[in-house]
A and B are shown apart, each in its own frame.
Chain A
């Protein structure tokens, strides 16, 4: 069974945020606008987080791109009262928008704040509307439900369909999420963590590899390679 995972090399990342932009276009996350952005209401499935350390003049700023960590032991799934959020057989944590009751228990349970809530009905300016991704799987979410990074499951589905049409078995290298595809510094790697020969599995074992808040026991499947 495939166990999808991601590795992000912080040495190669220069915080250009093209992953954030690509994710938005691929997954149809709505435009919040300056007013809502100021109120911390933006929906960015793949945010680049700044970590400031030290005091002026000795300051270091680290940027960490943060998609959903797709934990093997996800706290969000545990607390959902209606199983609107669940982990699929390949380890991807997903949300059923038709089931979600909008209680936001998962959003407070997630120690990575990767889950976003639709405060209002989603809106786009006219010019952007025609560029929405037509894939029904990423159709704009209604107001009042939670959404988050899915490792681009719609791309996985398409790759599977194509492999089937071509009459060959589906290969974990057949698809990559939009953020990996677009990454300017080629800092992101994506693949099957259960396949010991895959690049992600090897990089995950690197001495530079770490995961966010490992002490929480959430077993994230997103690995980072330390800077420097």
Chain B
């Protein structure tokens, strides 16, 4: 009865793409989570280089 899931052409592609894209999304999220980590308190920081995501330290959604 569930045979159509494995037998229908296209469903297999859908499974591959769903698994692949959700894993990809999860990994992008993970990278973003690292990227948006707040910097240390300002007084002990050296001048920032370019590419800082958020100027203030409130970012990060952990």
Residues of chain A having any CB pair with chain B under 8 Å? 81-83
CA distance A82 to B8 in the complex (A): 9
Residues of B contacting A: mostly: helix
Nearest-neighbour CB distance to chain A for B12, whole angstroms, equals 7
CB of B9 within 8 A of chain A? yes
Residues of A within 8 A of B12 (CB): 81
Residues of chain B having any CB pair with chain A under 8 Å? 7, 9, 12
Question: Of all chain B residues, which has the CB nearest A99?
Answer: B9
Nearest-neighbour CB distance to chain B for A83, whole angstroms, equals 4
Nearest-neighbour CB distance to chain B for A87, whole angstroms, equals 11
CA distance A81 to B37 in the complex (A): 44
Residues of B within 8 A of A81 (CB): 12
Residues of A within 8 A of B9 (CB): 82-83
CA distance A102 to B7 in the complex (A): 19
CA distance A81 to B11 in the complex (A): 11
Nearest-neighbour CB distance to chain A for B13, whole angstroms, equals 9
CA distance A82 to B7 in the complex (A): 10
Nearest-neighbour CB distance to chain B for A109, whole angstroms, equals 16
Q: What are 4 inter-chain pairs, A to B, with CB distance below 8 A?
A: A81-B12, A82-B9, A83-B7, A83-B9
Nearest-neighbour CB distance to chain B for A31, whole angstroms, equals 34
CB-based closest 4 A-B pairs: A83-B9, A82-B9, A81-B12, A83-B7
CA distance A81 to B12 in the complex (A): 9
Nearest-neighbour CB distance to chain B for A95, whole angstroms, equals 14
Residues of B within 8 A of A83 (CB): 7, 9
CA distance A82 to B9 in the complex (A): 6
Question: Of all chain A residues, which has the CB nearest B10?
Answer: A83
Question: Of all chain A residues, which has the CB nearest B9?
Answer: A83
CA distance A83 to B9 in the complex (A): 6
Nearest-neighbour CB distance to chain A for B46, whole angstroms, equals 55
Question: Of all chain B residues, which has the CB nearest A80?
Answer: B9
Question: Of all chain A residues, which has the CB nearest B6?
Answer: A78
CA distance A158 to B22 in the complex (A): 49
Question: Of all chain B residues, which has the CB nearest A81?
Answer: B12
Question: Of all chain B residues, which has the CB nearest A82?
Answer: B9
CA distance A135 to B12 in the complex (A): 34
Residues of A within 8 A of B7 (CB): 83
CA distance A82 to B12 in the complex (A): 9
